[in-house]
Structure 1
Amino acid sequence: MMDGKTLVLRGRVVSGVGSFSFWIGQLQDHYERKTGMRLYPGTLNLQLESEYSLPAKVIRLEASEYGGRVSVSIVPCSIQGRKAFLLRTDANENGTGDHPKTIIEIATDVRLRDLFRLQDGDYLEVAIAPEWAAYGTSEP
């Protein structure tokens, strides 16, 4: 949903597979350099009603930067007014990863489930600012 300025994605909290928990912990310095924030090692997964494709403008953590095999796109966003980042692997964006494009993963400096007392099935909105929302899509 676009209000002319901010892209708002609404999704239902779902459990993930735990991959980002491990990799954020292992690559903390790289994520901090890219985001300016020391991320909690894990993401909050939201199941959207329709697919979300990343915008053309993203922050990139390339596999070659850390000697790995997985590259990640990072999109600044906010969740209930808190600065956060949408993270998506290239495989997930291309439809060949662990998650379909209806799943978004949100990272910030705290465990969001604890901060907002979230459980699977709760609904939450993620706001993506206009400068990052351009060209991203959430298909109806």
Structure 2
Amino acid sequence: MELDDKVKQQINEVTEFMNDDLSTAKVLANMFELAPVINGLKNKQLPANSLSAATLLCLQQQMKLFLEDILGLQNPVPAYNGKLNQVMDLLLQLRKQAKAKKDFVTSDTIRNELLAMGIQIKDEKDGYMSYTLL
């Protein structure tokens, strides 16, 4: 069975199990079967064209529906985004000041320590710095 068809079938089964008196065990079992596909796409171990655009969109929407809206599983990070942005702005400002003073040890330490924590700093041409969570 082609991967696209298999994913569609899994999504349909999860929907059926949800409608079958919320058969949570079956729902979770089917969702775990979808996890390798999702991780493979995310980590680029599966080609982007492994799923049709329609199936990928359906998968994204249904996983959000099942995990967040129905089961109530949500990432707690958004509550801290404001604080994280403030802390990151401070660190980027300190790094910028260190670079201006030619204190490259401090500048590099900030960049390297953040990278070790999964936060990548990007120096832009205009002196602006941005960051990405890895």
Q: TM-score when scaled to structure 1? A: 0.23
Which one has a bigger Cα radius of gyration?
A: 2
More helix by share: 2
Considering fraction of residues, name the structure with more strand: 1
